[in-house]
Amino acid sequence: MKYYSTNGKAPIADLHKAVVKGLAEDRGLYMPERINKLPQEFFDNIEKMSFQEIAYTVASAFFGEDVDPDALHDIVYDTLAFDCPVVNVKDNIYTLELFHGPTLAFKDVGARFMARLLQYFIKQESGHKQVNVLVATSGDTGSAVANGFLGVEGIHVYVLYPKGKVSPIQECQFTTLGKNITAIEVDGVFDDCQALVKNAFMDAELNEHMKLTSANSINVARFLPQAFYYFNAYARMKENAKIEKCNNVNNLVMCVPSGNFGNICAALFGHEMGLPIKRFIAANNANDIFYKYLQTGKYEPKPSKQTLANAMDVGDPSNFARIYDLYDKSHEKISALISGATYSDEQIRETMRECYKASGYILDPHGACGYQALADGLQAGEVGVFCETAHPAKFKEKVDEILGIDVEIPERLAAFMRGEKQSVAMSKDFADFKDYLMHQ
Ligand SMILES: *Cc1c(COP(=O)(O)O)cnc(C)c1O
């Protein structure tokens, strides 16, 4: 499979190059030249397949030409060492729980897949020069990537995060690991961290000094595997429909709490492969750039605003470029398939309380945007699934305060909290960051 850049000015790449480079030379995002449709037979029988079997079928459609089948099988099964179940919350609203991985958020899937695929490619290279992964995080990316790569030989990870803008629980998941993981605490906001990473990739001298790659959701090996669980959601909903004989799985609405738009973009790729989802909702917090785009047809990036759902505090979502490209830059096509929603912190709080009271289900602030968008947007005869993108215990201080409860902390999270923080302080000035890396 060949990969082209959304900016159209970089050479075509193969998968190996797209994964190792992350971002194309012209700062565009790599896109596969083709999206293979899966056969009808697959969808007819999907509910009889396990999550891992489904994922391997989807992975083969994307990566089968470029990765040895046995290796790909191992990568998929190793990545998905945990489940992504579908749970009914209330009436015709279901949640796809994506927090059963090691760092309790959906990013574990993409990060684990990418770490394994990158290692597969590095092993094939002669010389085995160390690869350095740079990743900017607004919270959950850092922990997922750091843990996905922890102890992977030949790869060093630098996690850049905005000082004081991630929760203590998120922070401990990437600052306490040591080994091949370095946490860099940037005096700025998420967009500053992202700019430092992007500038590093463009800097010739730095790239001469060390081999750099990205693990942000722009990397094809991170964002594409996220399609796996949307197929699984459909399969489990089909199973549900058989048991309960009540919900109309043909009118499935998928709602994705979105920040950088990598997760929903993977769902849209699934749709292009034939996954029968009727329509999509992108649920935003107060960072409403995409919502505004849908209303006006104008994409106007803004500095990000800090909200309760901080992993979605993105003022210029990178993957918009992919969505734009996927639908031929047509606002009409995009707005026909995807609708938007935007919620203030006050609305998020209210939703969390309402949902807990009505159903006993504990939403995290990100999932709350998804739940509310379905509660507001589902039409008669439709059934909705929203992604619960993180476990509520990751945002324990907030969730406890909002709901007046004491959220239980799963043991795999408690273990991080016992570790000791180690981080490097950094300004948001690229010259400082470059100087630091030049001495590594
Ligand atoms: C990253 C993240 C999001 C946003 O996902 P994108 O792919 O960036 O749109 C939503 N919720 C949580 C908990 C996250 O960690």
pLDDT, averaged per 10 consecutive residues of the chain (440 residues), comes to: 97 94 90 97 96 98 97 96 96 96 94 93 81 87 90 91 89 94 96 93 94 83 96 94 72 96 97 98 98 97 93 93 97 98 98 98 98 97 96 94 97 92 97 97
The best mutation among 312, 394, 398 to test binding of ligand 1, ranked by most ligand atoms within 8 Å of the C-beta, falls on 312
β-strands 211-214, 131-136 pairing: parallel
Between the CA of 104 and the centroid of ligand 1 the distance, in Å, is: 12
Number of domains in the chain: 2
Dist. CA 315–CA 288, nearest whole Å: 8
Q: Are residues 385 and 333 in the same domain?
A: yes
Between the CA of 234 and the centroid of ligand 1 the distance, in Å, is: 20
Per DSSP, the residues of 242-296 read: HHHS-S-GGGEEEEEE-SSSHHHHHHHHHHHTT----EEEEEESS--HHHHHHHH
Q: What is the pLDDT of residue 29?
A: 95
Q: Are residues 281 and 234 in the same domain?
A: yes
Q: Are residues 311 and 428 in the same domain?
A: no
Question: Which distant-in-sequence residues (6+ apart) come within 8 Å of 91 by Cβ?
Answer: none
Q: What is the pLDDT of residue 91?
A: 92
pTM exceeds cut of 0.95: no
Q: What is the pLDDT of residue 437?
A: 97
CATH of residue 271's domain is 3.40.50.1100
* Backbone phi and psi for residue 199, each to the nearest 5 degrees, phi listed first: -65, -35
Give, using CA atoms, the residue closest to atom 2 of ligand 1. 311
Q: Is residue 66 part of a domain?
A: no
Give, using CA atoms, the residue closest to atom 15 of ligand 1. 140
Q: What is the pLDDT of residue 77?
A: 97
Q: Are residues 91 and 116 in the same domain?
A: no
Between the CA of 342 and the centroid of ligand 1 the distance, in Å, is: 15
Structure tokens at 308: 């309760």
Q: Are residues 345 and 299 in the same domain?
A: yes
The best mutation among 106, 108, 167, 268 to test binding of ligand 1, ranked by most ligand atoms within 8 Å of the C-beta, falls on 106
Cα dihedral: 264, 266, 272, 273 (round 10)? -140
Q: Are residues 310 and 245 in the same domain?
A: yes
Ligand 1 closest atom vs CA 144? 15
Q: What is the pLDDT of residue 313?
A: 92
Give, using CA atoms, the residue closest to atom 14 of ligand 1. 311
Q: Are residues 385 and 263 in the same domain?
A: yes
Ligand 1 closest atom vs CA 314? 8
Q: Is residue 62 part of a domain?
A: no
Cα 88 from chain centre: 23
Dist. CA 65–CA 74, nearest whole Å: 16
* Backbone phi and psi for residue 4, each to the nearest 5 degrees, phi listed first: -110, 165
Q: Are residues 117 and 100 in the same domain?
A: no
Q: Is residue 32 part of a domain?
A: no
Q: Are the beta carbons of 421 and 175 closer than 8 angstroms? A: yes
Q: Are residues 129 and 243 in the same domain?
A: no
Ligand 1 closest atom vs CA 390? 13
Domain extent at residue 137? 108-220+416-438
Identify the H or E element spanning 3.
strand 2-5
Ligand 1 closest atom vs CA 138? 1
Return the DSSP state at 364: -
Between the CA of 23 and the centroid of ligand 1 the distance, in Å, is: 19
Ligand 1 closest atom vs CA 364? 13
Between the CA of 314 and the centroid of ligand 1 the distance, in Å, is: 10
The best mutation among 104, 107, 310, 318 to test binding of ligand 1, ranked by most ligand atoms within 8 Å of the C-beta, falls on 107
β-strands 30-32, 2-5 pairing: antiparallel
Between the CA of 39 and the centroid of ligand 1 the distance, in Å, is: 30
Between the CA of 366 and the centroid of ligand 1 the distance, in Å, is: 8
Q: Are the beta carbons of 257 and 286 closer than 8 angstroms? A: no
Q: Are residues 227 and 329 in the same domain?
A: yes
The best mutation among 260, 268, 395 to test binding of ligand 1, ranked by most ligand atoms within 8 Å of the C-beta, falls on 260
Residues with CB under 6 A from ligand 1: 105, 107, 139-140, 217, 257-263, 311-312, 366, 389-390
Q: What is the largest CA-CA distance in the chain?
A: 63
Q: Which are the catalytic amino acids?
A: 107
Q: Are residues 378 and 258 in the same domain?
A: yes
Per DSSP, the residues of 277-288 read: --EEEEEESS--
Q: Is residue 299 part of a domain?
A: yes
